[in-house]
Structure 1
Amino acid sequence: MTTTVIPAGGTSMPAKPADMGPVLPGPQKAAIIIQMILSEGGSLPLSSLSARGQARLMQDFVELGRVDRATLSLVVADLERDLSMSGLSFPRSVADALSTLESHLNPEVVDNLRGQLGLSTPPAPWPKVAALPAEQLIALLPDEDPKIAAIVLSKLDPDKASEVLEDMDPDQATQVTLAMQSTATLSPDMVARIGTMLAAAIPSEKPTAFKDTPALRVANLLNAATPDKRDAVLASLTDQDAAFAEAVRASIFTFADIATRIAGPDIAKITRDVPQEELVMALAYAQVAEPASTDFLLANLSQRMAAALREEMEEQGEVPKKAGEAAMGRITSAIRRLADTGEVTILAPPGAEEDEAA
């Protein structure tokens, strides 16, 4: 016989029968309530759960199997007791209220309300999902529900969808293609909710303070340094961290690299971007300090321009080391600028391809 317990607040509630079996953990109780709501045609914003929470919910659905009436009554009684003790919390702002209710409201009403409140429209989830590489998309798909995978493939462009299908194992690919026929009657709202769920499960990348890698930032510092300072820093780096020093060295571009890392046709673009007097000073100094790059640069100009430059280099005379190194640095800085805009290409250091292949 079921007794009645009168809590301090005065509201009567059924007591827990002693034969209702073991007490379920909280997540499984939540799964039972969710299934009750969904089985009655209700809907819930489950996509707002964390990726881990969504995965746990699916696991609980599988493990619970069939729940008998006694256990169901116990779970409902627990929920009633919790609600009577804690009450309900509602959103404190119109924006939060809209965020809570929008999946249950008419989309046109939601758009109008957002306009009236000056709120931005949340980004559509499917472009974010479709932008993932094929291997990440496959990892995101639940193995036990090929229908969701079929929906995802249907939202991708054909080339991307084929790439994802190609990376699936044969059994999964077969199940997904068979499930495609079950997507014919899906509502746009359901597909949008699935997209939201998948987009919420995508691991977010933490923002970083710097766009370039540490090695490239050090390389950019050393590009503008004098050769003596650059060599000293690289030697010290090599002693402290050889791998990092090698990464820095691969990112450095100096005047000496022009001969091996710039394509001949790009030389004319570079000389057009550098004032004539600086080009002459750099070449006059480099014909002794870096003769290979000087000869390469002149060889890839028109004969008339190369002859004019050689004549001005002779007139320039001897260039002091500090001024010459500064002029060469301005040439390499110009090359860097042109490379950043895509006008010229800085090739990989000689031997880099062989190192990668090894």
Structure 2
Amino acid sequence: DAVDRIGLSLAAQFEHEPLRAFEDDPVERLGAILNIANSEMRDSLLAGLAEEDKAFGQRLKKAIFTFVHIPARVGPVDVPKLIRDVDPETMLIALAFAVKSGDEALHGTAEFILTNISKRMAEGLREEIAEKASIKAKDGETAMNAVIASIGNLQAAGELTLIVEDEEEDED
């Protein structure tokens, strides 16, 4: 009788999946952390993961959304919403850093944003960017992370929908 009860108890425990500490998948959690990490740390971690666990590294790479992903993932019609949502000085710092960084991907993102707002506003921002002294990497990264956070907030509020990348394009 005791063995029967122990067996039934064990069987009942196997039927129930243990409670998870986190609701999100590990890839989603780590991706959210890496979204706000500096680019040097993020690139280093991704390179290490690619060597250790290629499948996890690829899933993680898809979960990351940074400033350089804006042109591929944010529709041109949503850029004005983003401009309105981000503090003007923060947006100026992010754009100035992107333009003056020497990084083509960052520069391309800045151009994408400037191309998809009104001409008058874009011209004003371009003038302010030209007048802006060089931006420290830490300040530029902080401003770009604020832009990304704003995109996340707009998406959560249903005001912006991110474009989903095709699986086939990622494999090339």
The TM-score normalised by the length of structure 2 is: 0.82
CA displacement at 1:354 relative to structure 2: 5.2
Structure with the larger RCO, 1 or 2 (CA within 8 Å, 6+ apart) = 2
Coordinate RMSD, CA, aligned = 2.0
**Counterpart mapping for 1:137-148 below 5 A:** none
- Whole-Å Cα distance in 2 between the matches of residues 263 and 204 of structure 1? 43
SS at 1:208 equivalent: coil
Task: Kindly indicate whether residue 88 of structure 2 is the aligned counterpart of residue 246 of structure 1.
Answer: no
Q: 1:236 to 1:246 in 2, by over 3 A?
A: same
- Whole-Å Cα distance in 1 between the matches of residues 108 and 79 of structure 2? 14
Q: 1:225 to 1:267 in 2, by over 3 A?
A: same
Among the aligned pairs, what percent are the same residue? Answer: 38
Q: 1:292 to 1:240 in 2, by over 3 A?
A: same
Query: Which residue of 198, 209, 234 maps to 2:21?
Result: 209
1:234 paired residue number: 46
**Counterpart mapping for 1:98-113 below 5 A:** none
2:121 paired residue number: 305
For residues 170-203 of structure 1, give each alpha carbon's deviation from its aligned partner in whole angstroms, at most 9, with x where no partner exists: xxxxxxxxxxxxxxxxxxxxxxxxxxxxxxxxx8
SS at 1:330 equivalent: helix
What amino acid is aligned across from residue 210 of structure 1 in structure 2?
A: F
CA displacement at 1:207 relative to structure 2: 4.1
- Whole-Å Cα distance in 1 between the matches of residues 39 and 150 of structure 2? 18
Larger radius of gyration: 1
SS at 2:117 equivalent: coil
CA displacement at 1:317 relative to structure 2: 2.1
Q: 1:355 to 1:325 in 2, by over 3 A?
A: closer
SS at 2:159 equivalent: coil
1:352 paired residue number: 167
The TM-score normalised by the length of structure 1 is: 0.41
- Whole-Å Cα distance in 2 between the matches of residues 326 and 243 of structure 1? 30
Q: Which runs of 4+ in 1 moved over 3 A?
A: 203-207, 353-356
Q: 1:277 to 1:354 in 2, by over 3 A?
A: closer
1:331 paired residue number: 147
Unaligned runs of 5+ in 1: 1-51, 53-202
SS at 2:24 equivalent: coil
